[in-house]
Chains A and B, each alone.
Chain A
Amino acid sequence: MTNSPHLHLLLNHAPTVGTVAALCLLLLAFARRNDHLKHAALEVLFLVSLLTLPVYVTGVAAEAQIESLPGVSVRAAERHQDAALVAFVCMQVTGLLAWIGLWQFRRLAQPAAGVMGAVVLLGVMTVALMARAATPGGEIRHPEIRAVEAESVAEPAAETRAGFGSASVALFVTKYAWVWPAAETLHFLGLCLVFGVVLAVNLRILGAMKGRSRRCTVCSHGACSGSA
């Protein structure tokens, strides 16, 4: 039976290894001036960013399940979670830029140089942040690679850790009464937007929105022929 820790163990190397592989592919594409390779590298980066979502979610669930087990370093788990959150955000931004690059490939035949440069820069940053997250991740169940325990004992508790950590994000959401309802409302609005657009596209593909061609009723210019 697969559970969250098992799934996390199965998936957790994918973001680091995948990003390194995609970056190597991208550098090879630049060296050979090969657009097909560039396209493939962007696709790999985008897929890795999607794969990072279940890695992060299963990691959060796994922490709750293993923190009471003997031999588990709770401090290392907290450090791992904080570092993983920063790496996760950087990975998603990289994935978004890779997606924009792929869109530009399709619409403009060539992605903008700025986008490709940003993808490389953020990709390198992601690899560094993933490595930073992986180190305490390994220390959670491996005392032989753990730093001196006394150092970690001196660390502040999760609730008081400063900066952009998972604890500070959780504290922000639970401390202010308006954050959760506001985020949920925006989530619903986003859901409706996605649902409506996908619905329109799917209905069109299914032939339900063919309609007859008629003059546009919204704008007045004659060349519109049915579109405003």
Chain B
Amino acid sequence: MFEWLEATSLSVWVREAQTIWAFPMILTLHTFGLALLVGGSVVIDLRLLGIGRQMPVAPLRMLFRVVWAGFWLSLITGSTLFAAYATMRGTSPVFYAKLLFVALGVSTVVLIRRAVFDVPAEIAAAGSVKLMALLSLAAWTAAITTGRLLAYL
């Protein structure tokens, strides 16, 4: 299946086309998506951990739109990049570790939104929210680290 994916015309174009609109541009868009996804999440996490206390928490809800936009951009461009090198990435344990950490990071985004922004103030528990924020920071750090290691391992 990985071989078939790698042989499709889109994969061949991404991998072999001598133009900046192929691999370089898709990789750049992937980095933009990553910056939106992780950048937005990290701002929310740090705020929930008590950094920048003078800023209210409620307006940060807007950042979830940015985070999801970053997620979809990363997913689309990441899938394209994966297709270009499917046999190499598909057999790499580091790639699956990255997917695991991304899944963990996205789960914490959903949980934080539900626990902090979608419930009455009286119900939210500060301790668990801070734990989720810490987990989110750790997950995104691990996702970026494994993502970069993919290029070298």
| Interface of A toward B, CB cutoff 8 Å | 177, 180-181, 184-185, 188-189, 191-197, 199-200, 203-204, 208-220, 225-228
Q: How far is the CA of A173 from the CA of B48 in the complex (A)?
A: 37
A and B contact pairs by CB, cutoff 8 A, 8 listed:
A181-B151, A195-B36, A197-B39, A199-B66, A214-B121, A217-B57, A227-B57, A228-B50
Among A184, A195, A212, point to the contact of B35 (Cβ < 8 A).
A195
Q: Does B68 contact A (CB under 8 A)?
A: no
Give the distance to chain A from B51, nearest Cβ to Cβ, in Å. Answer: 10
Residues 60-88 of B contacting A (Cβ, < 8 Å) = 60-63, 66
Among A195, A211, A216, point to the contact of B59 (Cβ < 8 A).
A211
Residues of chain A lying within 8 A (CB to CB) of residue B50: 228
Residues 112-140 of B contacting A (Cβ, < 8 Å) = 116-117, 119, 121, 124, 126, 129-130, 140
Give the distance to chain B from A106, nearest Cβ to Cβ, in Å. Answer: 15
Q: How far is the CA of A120 from the CA of B126 in the complex (A)?
A: 46
Q: How far is the CA of A128 from the CA of B146 in the complex (A)?
A: 43
| Chain B interface residue count, Cβ-Cβ cutoff 8 angstroms | 41
| Contact assessment for A211 and B38 in the assembled complex, using a CB-CB cutoff below 8 Å | no
Q: How far is the CA of A168 from the CA of B104 in the complex (A)?
A: 40
| Contact assessment for B57 and A209 in the assembled complex, using a CB-CB cutoff below 8 Å | no
Q: How far is the CA of A188 from the CA of B149 in the complex (A)?
A: 12
Give the distance to chain A from B153, nearest Cβ to Cβ, in Å. Answer: 9
| Contact assessment for A227 and B55 in the assembled complex, using a CB-CB cutoff below 8 Å | yes
Q: Mark B19-41, 1 if CB is under 8 A from A, else 0.
A: 00000000000000011101111
Residues of chain B lying within 8 A (CB to CB) of residue A215: 121
Give the A-B contact count at a CB cut-off of 8 A.
Answer: 107
Q: How far is the CA of A150 from the CA of B42 in the complex (A)?
A: 58
Q: Does B92 contact A (CB under 8 A)?
A: no
Residues of chain B lying within 8 A (CB to CB) of residue A209: 59-60, 62-63
| Contact assessment for A227 and B54 in the assembled complex, using a CB-CB cutoff below 8 Å | yes
| Contact assessment for B149 and A192 in the assembled complex, using a CB-CB cutoff below 8 Å | no
Give the distance to chain A from B46, nearest Cβ to Cβ, in Å. Answer: 9
Give the distance to chain B from A186, nearest Cβ to Cβ, in Å. Answer: 9
From known contacts A185-B144, A189-B141, A208-B62, infer whether A196 and B38 are also in contact, taking CB-CB under 8 Å.
yes
Question: Nearest 7 pairs between A and B by C-beta?
Answer: A196-B39, A211-B59, A226-B56, A217-B124, A195-B39, A195-B35, A209-B59
Among B40, B66, B141, B149, point to the contact of A181 (Cβ < 8 A).
B149
| Contact assessment for A199 and B36 in the assembled complex, using a CB-CB cutoff below 8 Å | yes
| Contact assessment for A218 and B126 in the assembled complex, using a CB-CB cutoff below 8 Å | yes
| Contact assessment for B59 and A204 in the assembled complex, using a CB-CB cutoff below 8 Å | yes
Residues of chain B lying within 8 A (CB to CB) of residue A228: 47-48, 50, 53, 57, 126
Among A191, A194, A212, A218, point to the contact of B124 (Cβ < 8 A).
A218
Residues of chain A lying within 8 A (CB to CB) of residue B39: 192-197, 199
Q: How far is the CA of A227 from the CA of B57 in the complex (A)?
A: 5
Q: Does B58 contact A (CB under 8 A)?
A: yes
Residues of chain B lying within 8 A (CB to CB) of residue A214: 56, 58, 121
Q: How far is the CA of A213 from the CA of B147 in the complex (A)?
A: 38
From known contacts A200-B43, A218-B48, A218-B116, infer whether A185 and B148 are also in contact, taking CB-CB under 8 Å.
yes
| Contact assessment for B42 and A211 in the assembled complex, using a CB-CB cutoff below 8 Å | no
Closest to A200 in B: B43
Residues of chain A lying within 8 A (CB to CB) of residue B152: 177, 180-181
Closest to B115 in A: A217
Q: Does B8 contact A (CB under 8 A)?
A: no
Residues of chain A lying within 8 A (CB to CB) of residue B140: 192
